[in-house]
Amino acid sequence: MSGTQGRVASINVSGGGVPKRPVAECRVSTLGLEGDRQSDQVHHGGPERAVVLFSRERIGDLQAEGHPIAPGTIGENLTLEGLDWTLMVPGSRLDVGEARLEISRFAAPCEKVGGSFAGGEFTRVSEKAHPGWSRVCARVLEEGLVRVGDEVRLHAVTPAAVAGGAE
């Protein structure tokens, strides 16, 4: 099936907030990436939002639209490439390096990532406004080390089988 194999293009962490900065490798635990912190722990982080994922291809398309976005600037921990992003829906599972993840929800964008969008239009990555363009949150099923360049295998659920899930 096309779009179910890819690779890790960037691993991004920060001491709190955005942008997240690239690292070559990182241990992924049930509470997120080692060395990564969230400024707002009410709306970010925790076991159901341990890892935030986004598409390198979507970033390129957004850049072509004139947005000053780059890997990590909208808070994703893992920037992935080669995957069919429309298959990245709640319930889908991914093998990423030594880790295994399950998508738990679409990530709601907020004004703190507005600097990555022309005119501050952060809703450009809202699942409700632009289906298939959202970042996604994942829970960690198996902890492990992830490196830039690692293979990613997507075990997708059918998007039609997913009831709701949008922010």
Domains located in the chain, CATH noted: 5-161 (2.40.33.20)
Contact present, 128 and 10 (Cβ < 8 Å): no
% of the chain residues with pLDDT over 70: 87
For 2-47, the pLDDT digits (tens) are: 689 999 999 999 988 899 999 999 999 999 999 997 655 544 557 7
50 within 8 A of 140, measured Cβ to Cβ: yes
Check residue 38 and give its pLDDT. 64
Start-to-end C-alpha separation, the chain: 28
Which of 109, 148, 145 has the alpha carbon at shortest distance from 130?
109
19 vs 161 pLDDT, higher one: 19
User: Taking residues 51-67, what's their average pLDDT?
Assistant: 98
Phi, psi of 39 (to 5 degrees): -70, -35
CB atoms within 10 A of CB 117: 21
Q: Is the pTM of this model over 0.75?
A: yes
